[in-house]
Amino acid sequence: MILARTLRDAGSFLFKMREDKRSVGLVPTMGALHRGHLSLIECCNSENAATVVSIFVNPTQFNDPKDLKNYPRNLERDISMLRESGCDMLFVPGIKTIYPRPDLRIFDFGGLERRMEGQFRPGHFNGVAQVVSRLFDIIKPDRAYFGKKDIQQLAIIRKLTAMLNSNVEIRACETLREDDGLAMSSRNVLLSAGERENAAIINRTLREAVRKKGMEVCELKQWVADVINNNPFLELEYFEIVGSSDLQPVNHWAGTEDELVACIAVRAGRIRLIDNVFFSNFASL
């Protein structure tokens, strides 16, 4: 595995790949890798001649400076995980490599950037769009891999590639979970033992909510809010039922042609956790 820290390091590997007409897949991450990231890499390996993984904790997507400061970082451990993963090039750019000058671009995603995550993390998706467009410019991948766990991010990136007329094919990968259902996340290591144990309720509640489709949407929302907020370790930020293609909230079951997804964000102490489930995966179980 090549470790590239600069544009020049990355450029020589990528030039050779292009010259040999070999496909390149990109897996953008913020490090503190877990099996969820590895599943994206596996998918990328299976569809491309070379896999590039980037690790960059992007300051422009953090609206909370404490969250940025406390974000888990463990490059040595990440490197040893990646050596076993089939990754061909690890790109670990410095801040000046990604942002040689301040990125002043403001993206308009038609309101999607202000709902759900955007409401609680203003400016977050603008930062995501800045870093992803920059990584696409540098790596010029044929395909890029993102997790369905961050479903709104996935939708934003699909819009971004359309807006930029980019040829990068966006591939979506399933969410990997711990045995108790908690979606894997780099932030899980920051949970206290009590928060960690109770965090399993988030996915359990989502799956139960999906099975309660007989209820009115507003009653279901109230039910979820009660279950989460009655737990002393958890506090609900939002629970929404949205169409999977446009992520528009649905307030009535009737007239929804699109596949539905239940999306949730919960605070466990200082840590925000998000998750979602597709109705088609659980409704009939």
217 CB burial (10 A radius; 0-12, 13-18, 19+) = middle
Q: Which is nearer to ligand AMP, 61 or 97 (CB)?
A: 61
Radius of gyration of the chain (CA): 19
The span from the first CA to the last CA of the chain, in angstroms, equals 43
CA 96 → CA 126, 146, 261, distances in Å? 18, 24, 38
Site membership for ligand AMP, residue 68 (CB under 6 A): no
Active site residue 252: no
* CB 75 to ligand AMP: min, Å: 13
* CB 253 to ligand AMP: min, Å: 28
Residue 258 DSSP one-character state: S
Site membership for ligand AMP, residue 185 (CB under 6 A): yes
H-state helical runs in 20-150: 35-47, 65-70, 75-83, 95-98, 117-120, 124-139
In one-letter notation, the amino acid at residue 191 is L
In one-letter notation, the amino acid at residue 134 is R
Identified catalytic residue from 34, 37, 124, 252:
37
Q: Round to whole Å and give the CA distance between 9 and 13.
A: 7
Stretch that binds ligand AMP, among 1-9, 34-42, 97-105, 247-255 (CB under 6 A): 34-42
Stretch that binds ligand AMP, among 32-40, 107-115, 210-218, 259-267 (CB under 6 A): 32-40
Rule CB under 6 A: choose which of 13, 14, 36, 228 binds ligand AMP.
Answer: 36
* CB 252 to ligand AMP: min, Å: 30
Rule CB under 6 A: choose which of 186, 188, 198, 205 binds ligand AMP.
Answer: 186
Q: Round to whole Å and give the CA distance between 44 and 47.
A: 5
Residue 119 CA to its chain's centroid (Å): 16
Site membership for ligand AMP, residue 202 (CB under 6 A): no
* CB 29 to ligand AMP: min, Å: 4
Binding mask 95-134 for ligand AMP (x = CB under 6 A): ----------------------------------------
Q: Catalytic residue positions? A: 37
Chain residues in the site for ligand AMP (CB under 6 A): 29-30, 36-37, 39-40, 146-147, 149-150, 173, 175-176, 183-186
